[in-house]
Amino acid sequence: MCEDKSVLALIPARGGSKGIPGKNIKPLCGHPLIAYTISAARKSKYVDAVVVTTDSKEIAEVSRRYGAEIPFMRPERLSSDTSRTIDAVVHARDAMVDLGREYDVIVLMQPTSPLRHAEDVDGAIEAYFSHGLMGVASVLEASENPVLTRHLDEFGIMHPLIPISSTIRRQDMPRFYHVNGAIYVNDFHGLSLDTSLNDNPVAYVMKKDRSLDIDNIEDFLRAEAILEKLDKPQLVAM
């Protein structure tokens, strides 16, 4: 609960993955990848329930071992390579309502962001409430400033992406951020198939070393290297 509002953490994890087969439950420093996201959600001081939406019985079994609920299975039509995340989220919301379980806030947490902390989850939820219940998306400061980015026309002539003079010093350039996909916070009942989570207006800025989004094997190896240098999270299967 936060400000007397109930909070559901929802983790979408379909079974198919072409880039890294079995990615969501692939071992990462001794634990399945999804376990890190479940752990961060369970350690949040505001989250009331942690639910995984999946089409995979294997992912469901692993998720339960690490303390998540799987009160329903996601249908195959929402689990293909072309399925949109928002379709699975709205289905999960409606499935929870059908089960008589309604919440005020939904926090979407992608399992491919294993380095986020519970304090990031709490910070994003607090940002949601402090901005009058406006949608939140976690972001990372861009490493390459787009002031220096150019696109080329058909004649090979460069044009600035952003209409700001690039003659200013780097330290005087405005800062830019991009959505890192780790955390989204929205009104539970306000979600629809037209909702664009990446367009949530409120930013929760995360540190670079917590923002890695695993898309390929190189990202996976990078996550392992980061975790090896840190104190490994104490994840406990139930």
Does 235 fall in a domain? no
pLDDT at 3: 87
Does 213 fall in a domain? yes
Q: What is the DSSP string of 108-141?
A: EE-TT-TT--HHHHHHHHHHHHHTTS--EEEEEE
Return d(Cα 194, Cα 181) in angstroms, integer: 18
Does 165 fall in a domain? no
Return d(Cα 90, Cα 87) in angstroms, integer: 5
pLDDT at 236: 59
pLDDT at 44: 97
Does 170 fall in a domain? no
pLDDT at 57: 95
Does 116 fall in a domain? yes
pLDDT at 144: 82
User: What is the extent of the structural domain holding 213?
Assistant: 7-141+176-229
Helix boundaries (H) for 8-56: 33-43
Does 160 fall in a domain? no
Residue 94's CB is within 10 A of a number of other CB atoms, namely: 12
Tokens of 234: 């104490």
Q: Count of domains in the chain?
A: 1
Tokens of 96: 């929870």
Q: What are the mean pLDDT values of the chain's consecutive 10-residue runs (238 residues total)?
A: 94 84 92 97 97 96 97 91 91 97 98 96 98 97 86 93 80 87 97 96 96 93 89 61
pLDDT, tens digit, for every residue of 57-86?
A: 999 999 999 999 999 999 988 888 788 999
pLDDT at 162: 85
pLDDT at 233: 58
Helices (H) and strands (E) in the chain, counts: 5, 10
CATH number at residue 122: 3.90.550.10
Among 97, 92, 177, 189, which residue's Cα sits nearest to residue 137? Answer: 177
pLDDT at 232: 56
Residue 162 to residues 121, 139, 170, 172: CA-CA distances in angstroms?
32, 20, 15, 15
